[in-house]
Amino acid sequence: MNITNIKDTWGSIIELDTPEEFFTYSPDYWRKLSYERKLIFFKKVNFTKAQYSEFSFYFGQPWTSDEYKYSHEVTEEVDTKNGVQAISPFNNANTKMVSNAYMNWHSDIPNRDFKPYPFRSLWITDNPTPERSGKTSWMNLEESFQYLTPEMLEMIPRVTVCQQSWYDPGTDTKEFPLLKIHPITGAKSLRINHYNWGPKKGAWITDVKIDGVSQGHCFLIRQWTDYLQKIPDLIYQHQWNTNDIAIYDNHSFIHSRTALTFDPKAATRHFFRININHLDDQEWVEHKKKYLE
């Protein structure tokens, strides 16, 4: 196994001698590495679907089929040595929310009352035109504080973000402080996400409050996102190759994707995805009482 770090403090690319080599290391090893590096790519791992499902258990508790109903993700059941496991297949042809278009900076499943911000794992099993099939970028929000201006740092405790469901706009409305706390590491990060702007109103963040006063817009989130995305140390952009696997700490990042420039009728890029909980049920209850109530 060869590990190459993307940045000094986060992100790693791993090349395995064989796909089976992954399973010779313990879950404790992989979970510790995932919290230390936050974003890990395994290059060209030709797993079976059962192996990919079993891979997910090394990072936490993978979602059940019922849990995916919250995020409207289609699932497929796979027989594994851990029992029947749900994985979520998707491609640019059947993902209507984004299809081939540019995908805005966002973090997934931030509103869920029960264990939000799961780990996300993406396994690309068919990528016929890598140079035209879109690049995915991650922005490290945990590292962002050292780059904020004194004025921005002063604003953080004064700001509340108003969020809705991206999947069912106008529902699941909640308010959160701009600062969030990681349920395992305790690290602080900004609650920046896809925001409403212009005529489209289907983003996660719908409004910003400063000192409890609604601003009626998301200009602060837009301004801060634009500012942070210009800092190279906070950004990694990945060009996908068939059988790459990403496992990333969704709590620590927002991510985006460039547009796909091939004809969707002529080619598709196909992924499987797995969501993975950080905490068990009791750990989540204790975290929520401490930080969210």
Q: What is the CATH number of the domain that holds 193?
A: 3.60.130.10
Q: What is the pLDDT along the chain (293 residues), one digit of tens a residue?
A: 999 999 999 999 999 999 999 999 999 999 999 999 999 999 989 999 999 999 999 999 999 999 999 999 999 999 999 899 999 998 877 665 556 778 899 999 999 988 999 999 999 999 888 788 789 999 999 999 999 999 999 999 999 999 999 999 999 999 999 999 999 999 999 999 999 998 888 999 999 999 999 999 999 999 999 999 999 999 999 999 999 999 999 999 999 999 888 777 777 889 999 999 998 888 888 888 877 66
3-state SS assignment for residue 221? helix
Number of domains in the chain: 1
The Cα–Cα gap between 263 and 155 comes to 45
What's the pLDDT at 98?
A: 56
What's the pLDDT at 130?
A: 77
- The encoded tokens of residue 268 equal 């598709």
The Cα–Cα gap between 193 and 206 comes to 10
- Domain, as residue range, for 158: 2-291
DSSP code for 149:
-
The Cα–Cα gap between 254 and 235 comes to 10
The Cα–Cα gap between 10 and 234 comes to 9
